[in-house]
Structure formats: structure tokens, C-alpha cells
Amino acid sequence: MSEARSHRRLIDAPLLVAYTIGDEFAAARTETYDLGLGGLAMLSQVQLAAGQPLRLELELRGDPRPALHMTGEVRWCRIDPTLEQYRIGVEFTDRTPEQEAQLLGYIDMMYKLRDLGVL
């Protein structure tokens, strides 16, 4: 198991994400359905090619800090016929220690809220 996969993952608490493939394109907004230190999985109305670089803006709900800006690369994309949307796996690229700490803090906070019965 890779280092990024060895930490807890946030699977059923959607995170808001805006992503863009370049300056000439407007950002699309969606939700994640899986989040870990190594990347995320999200839903999209459009198909994205494996290898496509992305700029990501993650909104960590309940966190007073500004949105977290990261870069990533599409690793896989497949249609979900039930949802009529694409499921897309994104690997984070060039992640800083500060970004990693913020992601870990959010994941840990969500687990604590669940343990207290708040979620």
C-alpha cells in the first residue's frame, strides 16, 4: 500500500470541488465521493481523458481557511449508467506539506464528527 493510501479516506462526506483544464475554460463544479491524501474521485457531466492535468479548488466545509488550491491529473474516467454521469479518479500532483496537513485535518475532523453522532 502506498504512503498516500495508508491514511484514512473520506468516502461518504462529499467535498465541493471546482476544476478546470486551463485558463481558457470556465471552472466546472461538482462533488467528490472519495478523498484521500493521494487524490480524489468525483462525478462529472463530461468525460475527461486519462492524463489530463487539472487545477482544483477544494472547499473544505466547516474550515475557516480559504479554499485549498491543488493540481491533479486524471487517472481514470468511466460512465456510471445509473447516475448518467462520469466517475473520475484524480491523482494530486505537486502536493505541498501544508496542503497535505489541511487534507488530513479535514478527514480527521469528519471522522470525529461521525464518532460524536453529528454526521
Going from the N-terminus, what domains does the chain have, and what CATH number goes with each? 4-115 (2.40.10.220)
How confident is residue 8, by pLDDT bands cut at 50, 70 and 90? low
pTM for this predicted structure: 0.84
Helices (H), the chain: 97-115
Q: How far apart are CA 67 and CA 80, in angstroms?
A: 28
Asked if residue 73 lies in contact with residue 52, where contact means CB atoms within 8 angstroms, the answer is yes
Q: Is the pLDDT of residue 36 over 60?
A: yes
**What pLDDT, in 10s, does the model give residues 47-72?**
999 999 999 998 877 677 788 899 99
Cβ pair 102, 60 in contact under 8 A? yes
Residue 7 predicted with pLDDT over 90: no
Closest to 18 measured CA to CA, from 37, 44, 38, 39: 44
Q: Which residues pair with 69 in a beta bridge?
A: 57
**Banded pLDDT at 6 (limits 50, 70, 90):** very low
